[in-house]
């Protein structure tokens, strides 16, 4: 493998990590911001009030985006194995 191929492979790896981790993290971030605003408006400073909705939102995001995430990871795994086979072939 050349340096360009390795660089392209690393770039693809970072993109897959962003595709898989980004949506649940963004959903948790939005839920956290909304709960922070609700806590500021109602002056309720209880940790469980902020934690439980964030966990629920992240779990729902994982359930909704699960097929997309599985398909993305499957495509990437096939790409990795194909490149391993090509790298081993003389």
Q: Is the pLDDT of residue 42 over 80?
A: yes
Q: Is the pLDDT of residue 2 over 80?
A: no
- Helical H segments across the chain, by residue range: 3-42, 47-88
Question: Higher-confidence residue: 43 or 75?
Answer: 75
Question: Higher-confidence residue: 2 or 41?
Answer: 41
Q: Is the pLDDT of residue 83 over 90?
A: no
The whole domain housing 68 covers 3-88
CA dist., res. 37 & res. 10, Å (int): 39
pLDDT at 76: 93
- CA distance to 10, 49, 61, per residue, from 81 (Å): 14, 45, 29
Q: Is the pLDDT of residue 38 over 70?
A: yes
How many domains are contained in the chain?
1
pLDDT at 59: 95
CA dist., res. 11 & res. 4, Å (int): 10
Q: What is the mean pLDDT of residues 23-50?
A: 87
């Amino acid at each position: 493998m050349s340096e360009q191929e390795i660089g392209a492979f690393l770039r693809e790896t970072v993109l897959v990590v962003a595709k898989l981790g980004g949506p649940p993290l963004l959903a948790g971030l939005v839920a956290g911001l909304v709960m922070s605003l609700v806590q500021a408006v109602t002056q309720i400073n209880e940790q469980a009030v902020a934690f439980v909705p964030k966990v629920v939102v992240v779990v729902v995001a994982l359930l909704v985006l699960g097929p997309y995430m599985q398909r993305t990871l499957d495509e990437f795994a096939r790409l990795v194995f194909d490149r391993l086979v090509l790298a081993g072939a003389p």
